Amino acid sequence: MRPTRYLTPATAGTLRNVRIDLLRGISILLVVLDHLAQRIPPGMGVLGTFLPARIIDGFFTHGYEAVFIFFVISGFLITSMSFDRWDRLSQIDLKAFYALRFARIVPCLLVLVAVLSLLDLLGVRDFVMEHANQSLPGALTAALGLYLNWYEGYTGHYLPAGWDVLWSLSIEEVFYIGFPLVCLVLRRQWLLIAFLVLLALSLPWTRAAALATSEVWREKAYLPGMAAIATGVLTALLATKFRAKRWATVLILIGWLGIAAVLFADDILWRAFHEGLLLVLTLSTACLLLAFHRPERPGSDKPLPGTAWLCTFGRLSYELYLTHVFVVFAVVEIFRLTGASLNLGILWYPPAVALCWLLAKLVDKTLSTPCNRALRSRLIRLRGSRAVAPVIS
C-alpha cells in the first residue's frame, strides 16, 4: 500500500488543471452577475437595446444553476484528490481527510460569520435579519452546524444575502463528512458506484419532492445538491478507467452545448425535461470534466488565449463566493446615492466584478492561504513526514 501523501506548504496549489479553473471561473462569474442583476437590471438600458432578452437572461440570471456546476466540480475534485492521496477510496484516512477539509474551509467561514454577525448587531442595511422567525443566533448556529439551507427552508424565508450564500456550503460540508464514511462502509467499488448512480439520477425527483415542502426548500434541499455532487464523484471514478483523449472533442462539444442550452434556452428545455433540467446541466458538466481530466506536470498547462482572468476567478472561487456580496451591496449603494440611470447600469458591472476579485485576492493572501498552510503544516507535524503529491487544493 502506498503511503498517505499530504500537501506541504511549499507544494500546495502548485498543480492545477486550468480548464477546470476556467469552468469554475465561469460559474462564479455567473453567480456574481446574477446578484448584480437582481439589483441593477442589465436589460433595462442600452444592453437591452442591442441584445435579445434570451441572451441577457442567459448571462445574468443563472447564479443558482452555476452552483450546481460547482457541486459537480466539487465531487469530482474531492474524489480525484482522494485517489491521489490514498490510491483507493476504501483506504481513505478519516482524520487526514477531515483535517485537510477543515484547513481549507473553516478559517474563511469563521471570519465571514463573525463579520456578518457584527453587521447584523450594528443594524447595517442588507445585513439585518428581516423576518420574525429568523434570528442572529439561529442563523449563526445553522451556519456553523451545517444546516443553514434547512434553516431557510424551515423558516420559509431567505436570509440576508451574506448569509444566504452559505446554503450551498452546508450541502458541501455534509458531503465532506459523509463521503469518506460511505467509501469506507461500502468498500467495494461496484457498491459505491451503484449507490452514486441512484443518487445522481434522482435529481429530478428529489427536486420535485422538495417543492412539495416549499419554494425555498426546493432551491436549498440537501438531496438535489448531493445528486449533483454524486455526478462529480462518478465522473472522477470513470476518469480513472476511461482515457478520454480520443473522445475529448466530442465530450467538450456535448458539455458546452448542454450548459449553453440550460443557460440560454431553459424555457424550451423545461417543456421537455421539467425538473430534469438540472440533470441536463450536471451531466453536461460531467462531460467537460471527463474531457478536461488528465495527469499533468506543474506548469505544463496554459490557459486558452483571453481566459487567464477567468482561470484566476476559478482559483479564487471559494473566496469570491463568500465575499462578493459585500462588493455588490457597496456598488449598488453607490449607484443609488449617485442617482445613476439604469440605462447605463451595465457600466457598473466591470468595476464591480474587478472589485470582487480584488477582495477575494486579499482574503486569499491574508487569510485563506496562510491559515491553510499553517493548519496543513500542523497536520504533517502531528502525523509525521510523508511523501507528498502536489494536487489541486
The CA-atom distances, in angstroms, between 297 and each of 231, 293, 300, 380, 389 are 26, 13, 5, 24, 11
What angle, rounded to 10 degrees, do the helices at 18-37 and 277-292 form?
Answer: 150
Tell me what pLDDT residue 380 has: 62
What's the structural domain count of the chain? Answer: 1
Decide if 8 is inside a domain.
no
Tell me what pLDDT residue 58 has: 94
Decide if 2 is inside a domain.
no
Decide if 3 is inside a domain.
no
Give the residue-averaged pLDDT of 75-100.
92
CB 129 within 8 A of CB 139: yes
Tell me what pLDDT residue 387 has: 37
> Which residue in 76, 83, 240 sits closest to 172, CA to CA?
76
Using a pLDDT cut of 70, give the percent of the chain over it: 90
Q: Which residues contact 385 (CB under 8 A, 6 or more apart)?
A: none
Tell me what pLDDT residue 74 has: 97
Query: Is pLDDT above 90 for 320?
Result: yes
Structural domain for 357, as ranges: 18-380
- 328 band by pLDDT with thresholds 50, 70 and 90: very high
DSSP state of 302: -
What tens digit of pLDDT does each residue of 20-45 get? Answer: 999 999 999 999 999 999 999 998 77
Decide if 148 is inside a domain.
yes
DSSP state of 160: P
Tell me what pLDDT residue 119 has: 97
Tell me what pLDDT residue 3 has: 43
Q: Using CA atoms, how far apart are residues 387 and 85, in angstroms rounded to an integer? A: 10
Decide if 13 is inside a domain.
no
Query: Is pLDDT above 90 for 364?
Result: yes
- 383 band by pLDDT with thresholds 50, 70 and 90: low
Decide if 387 is inside a domain.
no
Count of beta carbons in the 10 Å neighbourhood of residue 82: 23
Higher local confidence (pLDDT), 48 or 86: 86
- 13 band by pLDDT with thresholds 50, 70 and 90: very low
Tell me what pLDDT residue 333 has: 95
Kindly write down the DSSP assignment for every residue of 198-258, as one continuous string.
HHHHTHHHHHHHHHTT-HHHHHH-HHHHHHHHHHHHHHHHHHTT--TTTTHHHHHHHHHHH
Tell me what pLDDT residue 379 has: 72
Cell of 108: 474563511
What tens digit of pLDDT does each residue of 209-267 get? Answer: 988 788 899 899 999 999 999 999 999 999 988 776 778 889 999 999 999 999 999 99
Decide if 320 is inside a domain.
yes
Tell whether the torsion through CA atoms of 359, 360, 365 and 371 is positive or negative: positive
Q: Using CA atoms, how far apart are residues 290 and 237, in angstroms rounded to an integer? A: 10
Query: Is pLDDT above 90 for 101?
Result: yes
Higher local confidence (pLDDT), 187 or 243: 187
Decide if 119 is inside a domain.
yes
